[in-house]
Amino acid sequence: MMQRRQLMTLTGLGLGASLAAPSVLRAQGNWPDRPIRLIVPWAPGGSTDTVARLFQPRLAAVLGQPVVIENRGGASGSIGASEMARTPADGSAWMLAYDNEAPNQTLLRLNYQTLEALVPVSLVATGPLVMTAHSSTPFRNFRDVVDAAKRNPEALNYASSGVGGLAHISTTLLQQQNDFKLTHVPYRGGGPAVTAAVANEVPLFMTNVVIVSQHIRAGTLRPLGVTTRGETRHVPGTQSFAQQGFGDFEAPTWWAFFGRAGTPQPIVDKMHAALRQVLNEPEVKARIEEQGCDIVASTPAECRTFVAAEIERWGKVIRDNNIRADS
């Protein structure tokens, strides 16, 4: 009797699986069959929002469904990422992450781990960080800032898009390696931070180039140094921190596209193909790159390898230098 019940149960499970399988396959084959959520874990006006909105219309056209951007800012991008980690693994929601996603794994107490809760789809783009000064300040390069900070420690304020972001951590590392002190003024995203920098509420601003390129061109903000090894075409005429005598310092910024872990591979593959097609379209590529970054459009495996290395690299810096979320 026991064996019979077990056999019936197993047969029922098998029958259920066989009946469910075609339905799952049809759902995958018809994907997307509804509007797609694109979570941007930052406020409107920041670089992640800007990059997302530059490829969003073409991605919607290629996929044949609306792509609806949801701005879920706060806590260095972790609020939006936590929301993404709770979404169904059915291809209905995706996320464009910023470089903060890597240091957040060490710096913050999170209810998810990026490479367990999310599936990398593509490294979208990379670019330099730049330290800018308002045009009314006397600073012409970063060495001027360091000299002033050493004369009067912590008197100079610098803005960033939030506590624990790459802009914050890299600037902290610069200070610790070169024995000077600035005062960090974090904002809730790049949009509010650039508004404050342009208004001269804060004299210095460490950020990616995307959200300040127009203000640099207009002369409102003056670039003092970039985080590439040498000069970059995105901020012509501006030396890197390494070129200005700050060791071999390098800290690229980046944007990566994620889905929910467990999303069926055919759906991930279809999204990757659509995204890669869009990012390599000459008009989309030109519009994004003229903001101050370089399209990568990597494979999912390349994206996973890159993000894992960034988590390890900046985690080590945070631990070695005792950087805290309130620093």
Residue 10, pLDDT score: 36
Q: Computed from CA positions of residues 139, 187, 307, 256, in that sequence, does the dihedral angle turn out positive or negative?
A: negative
Domains of the chain (ranges; CATH) run 31-126+253-320 (3.40.190.150), 129-226 (3.40.190.10)
Q: What whole-number distance in Å separates Cα of residue 171 and Cα of residue 204?
A: 11
Q: Are strands 93-98 and 129-134 parallel, antiparallel or unpaired?
A: unpaired
Taking only the tens of pLDDT, the chain with its 327 residues reads: 434 444 333 334 343 433 444 444 444 579 999 999 999 999 898 899 999 999 999 999 999 999 999 999 888 899 999 999 999 999 999 999 999 999 999 999 999 999 999 999 999 999 999 999 999 999 999 999 999 999 999 899 999 988 888 999 999 889 988 999 999 999 988 889 999 999 999 999 999 999 999 999 999 999 999 999 999 999 999 999 999 999 888 898 999 999 999 999 999 999 999 999 999 999 999 999 998 999 999 999 999 999 999 999 999 888 987 888 765
SS3 breakdown of the chain: % helix, strand, coil, rounded to 5?
45, 20, 35
Edge-to-edge strand list for the sheet holding 93-98: 67-71, 36-40, 93-98, 253-260, 118-127, 294-295
Q: Are 92 and 36 in contact (CB under 8 A)?
A: yes
Query: What confidence score (pLDDT) does residue 317 get?
Result: 85
CB atoms within 10 A of CB 104: 27
Position 45 scores a pLDDT of 85
pLDDT number for residue 28? 59
**pLDDT confidence of residue 171:** 93
> In which order are the strands placed within the sheet that holds 204-208?
183-186, 157-160, 204-208, 129-134, 221-226
Question: Strand runs (DSSP E) across 128-174, as ranges?
Answer: 129-134, 157-160
Residue 227, sorted as left (phi over 0), alpha (psi -120 to 50) or beta, turns out to be: alpha
Residues in the chain: 327
The model carries a pTM of 0.83
- The model's pLDDT over 234-261, given as tens digits with 9 standing for 90+, comes to 999 999 999 999 988 889 899 999 999 9
Q: What is the pLDDT of residues 49-78, one digit of tens each?
A: 999 999 999 999 999 999 999 999 888 899
DSSP string, 89-133: SSSSEEEEEETTHHHHHHHS--SS-HHHHEEEEEEEEEE-EEEEE
